[in-house]
Amino acid sequence: MKKLWGLFLVLAVAISLSSEAMASSYILIGVQAPITGKYANEGQGIAQAVKLIVSQQNAEGGILGKKIKVIVCDDEGTAVQAAICARDLVNKGVIAVIGSYTSTSTEAAEATYYRANVLQTSDGTSDRLTKHGYWTFFRNSFPNSAEAAFTAQYLVNKKHYKRIVVLSDHSSYSNGLSNAVAKAIKKAGGTVIYRGRITSGAQNFTPVLTKIKSMNPDVIYFGGYYTDGGLIRAQQVELRIKADFVGGDSVDNPDFLKLAGKSAAGTYLINVPTPSILPYPLAKNFLKAYKARYHMMPPSIWTLLNTDGLRAILFAIKETGTTNTVKLAKYLHNLKDFPGITGPVTFLKSGERTGSVYMTYEVQENGSKKIVYKEK
Amino acid sequence: MNTFFQQLVNGLTIGGIYALIALGYTMVYGVMKLINFAHGDLVALAAYIGLTIFMKVGTSSSGLSILLIVLIGTIMIIVFAGMMLELIAYRPLRNAGAPRLSAVVSALGASMVLENGMMLLWGPNLKIFPSNILPSSTWSIGGVIISSAQFFIIVSSLVFMLLLHLFINKTKLGTAIRAAAIDQEAAQLMGINVNRVIVTIFVLGSGLAAIGGIFVGIYYREVYFNMGWLYGLNAFVAAIVGGIGNIPGAMLGGILLGVFNAFISGYVSSSWSEAFTFILLIGILIFRPTGILGERVAEKV
């Protein structure tokens, strides 16, 4: 028995040494994403997209003469697991991490990557992500404050709504976005007559809507998720509240249209472009390759935003000829208009991506979406 | 004033659903002194089964006949599930003379099995009922809007509650249930088959849960695997508010809780409506532990 243990130990050492040796001949890229759990399809989309881009790069002979290897860690969309993933990926020697999908698990991992000099690029929209002063962090999407500013501009200056109701649920994303929207509306000179919160998943929203009805609003803005948004809209129409309905980015989902049914027509949804309408040839090529390899479309725009984060990092490695993350970060901070799948990529010193491309869609009678207002 | 009556209609709709579900809790508690935590999950299961049957029978036509088929089919399947629940999760414990706490733990376990089973069968994403089951017309009565679905739910929950009331008070089996609720052993000595009584209350409770689940499906149209928890918890609170173990109490508690929630969201704060539900619960437990109507407890010497 003791002999067996000895043999086992020798084997274990040999394996760990060989994987160590392997690591140096590869450039390691980590993916930290929710592969299982509530956001599983988004997390799997990110991992698939990263693997696709890396295999394309490897087919061209890799980068700096080395092949790239992807290590995926499942953070289940939770903060606890995210911290474990961060440690794990750092120990395995990755130079950059793509992810995570949610702001919560992104923030939980940020400090670990910062201390280990590992680059991180995430689609999290919470404003706080870029407020820590970590030079390692790059946001590949746009912060809630950008969406809020666009929303306020649309509601107050474009549609001239006088009496605005802002609704959210209690989650940090929804509450944060809706608070930002309410603040931006006031700044733009509009009036928020009611700022309400609902319990996500409660299904019965008629009491709060009845209260809203008595206030005679011009518009109801909901900055939460499609599951609640669809029911709020359906119950709003049922109660004959003659106000427009405007939904934030997480309301924009095919299930919103199904839940709201006939009432979906005439609602406005504010979001970045959906993958299929991106005007860039790069995007069309990427979607084609993704579909050919996985026989499905990417789950959402978030997949593509993360892909752009990865592409920018690979581009920086090529241009600087190094994998030294300090030099890479310096290069990325000065990156201007890198041609991305989701539009030009430019990073500020804070790691914030500039040049948001929000737009307003109007849902048509047949359930399709038409762009009615674009950010200039 | 319109707002007041509108909130009343809102409250009565959801309250009717709560009452139907609360009856299941209260009947099981009345006879077995057990909180059947898996009861809420039967509601979610009913919504899934209803949706599945509806998809099979045909989505093209709407109307009462289709609804009737869905309702009867779902009730049959959920009643069977309820009987299985009693047979697998509770009867072996009862026969072994296990303490009541074991049965509660078993109930929690059964709830998890049902919830995760539904997730595995139908997936974690939400499912959506078609919108054409009931005609989507709404009426305005003096400014108060009531939809056909709301009207249907309020009226039929009242009808089902009336039927249950008649069954419990006018039939022989109903009398046996009342007897077993007062004293199981004495009932047994009088020649009442208590196991049969328990099966009967599971049949009745599950049937009402099935109706509640279908109502949730056709009115809110959104079904997800862990929504049973939400309805179960509210119905449980309703049963306690009305007086757990007491059948008219559960009906009253459900309707009161629905209306209470609507007025709190409407006049106080929608953010705090759930907190107020539990403040109400604590208040009732402190000042009137047996609930509004109170449990009918037989004198024990």
DSSP code of residue A35: S
Q: Which residues of B touch A199 (CB under 8 A)?
A: 273-274
Residues A115 and A173 placed together within one structural domain of the fold = no
Q: B256-290 burial, b if ≥16 CB within 10 A, otherwise e?
A: bbbbbbbbbbbeeebbebbebbeebbeebeeeeeb
Token match 């970590």: residue?
Answer: A134
Same domain, A168 and A137: no
Q: What is the mean pLDDT of residues B105-126?
A: 89
Closest Cβ–Cβ partner in A197, A213, A258 for B270? A197
Q: What percent of chain A has pLDDT over 70?
A: 93
Name every residue whose Cβ is closer than 8 Å to that of residue B188 and which is 6 or more positions away in sequence.
B194
Contact residues on chain B for A255, CB-CB shorter than 8 A: 126, 128
Nearest CA in chain B to A197: B271
Residues in chain B closer than 8 A to A204 (CB atoms): 10, 13-14, 220
| Number of domains observed in the structure of chain A | 2
Residues A93 and A172 placed together within one structural domain of the fold: no
- Give the closest residue to B150 by CA, choosing from B158, B41, B161, A228: B158
pLDDT averaged over chain B? 89
| CATH number for position A182 | 3.40.50.2300
Angle, CA of B284, B286 and B292, to the nearest 5°: 30
Residues of chain B contacting A210 with CB distance shorter than 8 Å? 3, 6-7, 10, 262, 266
Radius of gyration of chain B (CA): 19
Answer yes or no: do A210 and B10 touch at CB < 8 A. Answer: yes
Q: Do B270 and A211 touch (CB under 8 A)?
A: yes
Note whether B148 contacts A: Cβ–Cβ < 8 A: no
Angle at A173 between CA A170 and CA A176, to 5 degrees: 80
Q: Say what the pLDDT of residue B238 is.
A: 95
Asked if B222 is an interface residue toward chain A (Cβ–Cβ < 8 A), one would say yes
Q: Would you tell me how many other CB atoms lie within 10 Å of the CB of residue B115?
A: 20
Least CA distance to A41: which residue of chain B?
A: B125
Residue B299 has pLDDT above 50, yes or no: no
DSSP SS3 for B86: helix
DSSP-derived 3-state class of residue A369:
strand
Concatenating the DSSP letter of every residue in A45-73 gives HHHHHHHHHHHHHHHTT-BTTBEEEEEEE
- Sign for the CA dihedral angle at A141, A146, A150, A151 comes to positive
Element containing residue A8 per DSSP (H, E): helix A2-24
Confidence of residue B282 (pLDDT cuts 50, 70, 90): very high
Task: Check whether the bond before A100 is cis (ω within 30° of 0).
Answer: yes
Instruction: Identify all chain A residues contacting B261, using CB atoms and an 8 Å cutoff.
Output: 207
Rounded Cα–Cα distance for residues A130 and A353 (Å): 10
Of B6 and A356, which is predicted with more confidence?
Answer: B6
Q: pTM for the whole thing?
A: 0.82
**pLDDT for the residue B300:** 36
Q: Same structural domain for residues A75 and A97?
A: yes
Mean model confidence pLDDT for chain A: 89
**Long-range pairs for A277-280 at CB < 8 Å and ≥24 separation?**
A277/A371, A278/A304, A278/A341, A278/A342, A278/A343, A280/A339, A280/A340, A280/A341, A280/A343
User: Based on the domain organization, do A83 and A26 belong to the same domain?
Assistant: yes
Residue type for position A129: L
Residue A111 forms contact with B (CB below 8 Å):
no
Question: Token digits for A32?
Answer: 């930290």
Task: Give the per-residue pLDDT at B301.
Answer: 38
pLDDT grade, residue A80 (50/70/90)? very high
What is the four-CA torsion angle of A129, A135, A138, A144, rounded to 10 degrees?
Answer: 30
**Beta partners for residue A220, in sequence order:** A165, A245
Residue B80: count other Cβ atoms within 10 Å of its Cβ. Answer: 12
CA nearest to A211 within chain B = B266
Q: Do A231 and A370 belong to one domain?
A: yes
Token pair 């990427």 is found at A286
What local confidence, expressed as pLDDT, does residue B169 receive? Answer: 92
Residue B107 tokens read as 């109930």
For residues A142-168, give the mean pLDDT. 93
Same domain, A152 and A135: no
User: Residues B115, B226: contact at Cβ < 8 Å?
Assistant: yes
How confident is the model at residue B246, as a pLDDT? 86
pLDDT of amino acid B269: 86
Residue A172 has pLDDT above 80, yes or no: no
List, in sequence order, every beta strand (DSSP E) within B113-216: 127-128, 138-141, 144-147
CB neighbour list of residue A58: distance below 8 Å, 6 or more residues apart: A67, A68
Contact B10 A206 (CB under 8 A): yes
Could you tell me the residue range of the domain that residue A120 belongs to? 2-141+278-333
A144-to-A197, A333, B46, B242 alpha-carbon distances in Å: 18, 21, 39, 45
Q: Lowest mean pLDDT of A331-340, B51-60, B232-241, name the range.
A: B51-60
**How does strand B127-128 pair with strand A164-168?**
unpaired
- Residue B260: the pLDDT is 95
For B62-91, what is the mean pLDDT? 91
Q: What is the pLDDT of residue A3?
A: 59
Between residues B213 and A176, the one the model is more confident about: B213
In a domain, A350, yes or no: no
Tell me, what's the pLDDT at A41? 80
Strands (E), B106-251: 127-128, 138-141, 144-147, 222-223
Q: Within a domain: residue A344?
A: no
Residue A12, classed as helix, strand or coil, is helix
> Token pair 């994998």 is at which residue?
A323
Judgement on whether residues A16 and A110 belong to the same structural domain of the protein: yes
Sheet order of strands, A244-247 included: A192-197, A164-168, A219-222, A244-247, A268-271, A359-363, A369-374
Residue A349 is assigned to a structural domain of this protein: no
Nearest CA in chain A to B137: A238
Residue A199 corresponds to which tokens in the numbers above?
Answer: 């319990």
Is position A296 within any domain?
yes
Query: What is the nearest CA distance from B152 to chain A, expressed in angstroms?
Result: 15
Per-residue pLDDT at A217 exceeds 70 = yes
Report yes or no on A340 lying in a domain.
no
pLDDT-based confidence at residue A289 (cuts at 50, 70, 90)? very high
If asked whether residues A265 and A282 sit together in one domain, one would say no
* DSSP state letters, B222-277: EE-TTHHHHHHHHHHHHHHHH-TT-HHHHHHHHHHHHHHHHHIIIII-STTHHHHH
Condensed to tens digits (0 to 9), the pLDDT of residues A110-123 reads 999 999 999 999 99
> Which class for A153: exposed (0-12), middle (13-18), buried (19 or more C-beta within 10 A)?
middle
Structural domains present in chain B: 2-131+149-287 (1.10.3470)
User: Are A234 and A368 in the same domain?
Assistant: yes
Pick from B124, B222, B274: CB nearest A203? B222
Q: Average pLDDT in the A267-296 region?
A: 89
B218-B221-B227-B232 Cα dihedral, nearest 10 degrees: -30
Any alpha helices (H) in A63-196, and if so which ranges?
A: 79-92, 103-115, 144-152, 172-187
Q: Is residue A346 part of a domain?
A: no
Q: Which of A166, A194, A206, A238 to mutate: most B Cβ within 10 Å?
A: A206
The answer, for A259 touching chain B at a CB cutoff of 8 Å, is yes
Query: A170 to chain B: which residues are within 8 Å by CB?
Result: 271
CA B160 to chain centre: 12
| Residues of chain B contacting A258 with CB distance shorter than 8 Å | 128
Q: Enter the DSSP assignment of A347.
A: B
Kindly state whether residues A237 and A249 are assigned to the same domain: yes
A83 and A16 both lie in a single domain: yes
Q: Closest approach of chain B CAs to the CA of A86, in angstroms?
A: 27
Mutate one of A210, A232, A238 to test the B interface: name it (highest B CB count within 10 A): A210
Residue B131, chain A, CB below 8 Å: the answer is yes
- Asked if B138 and B65 touch (Cβ cutoff 8 Å), the reply is no
pLDDT band at B186 (very low <50, low <70, confident <90, very high): very high
What are the beta bridge partners of residue B222? B128
In a domain, A248, yes or no: yes
Q: Is residue A338 part of a domain?
A: no
User: Which chain A residues have a beta carbon less than 8 Å from that of B278?
Assistant: none
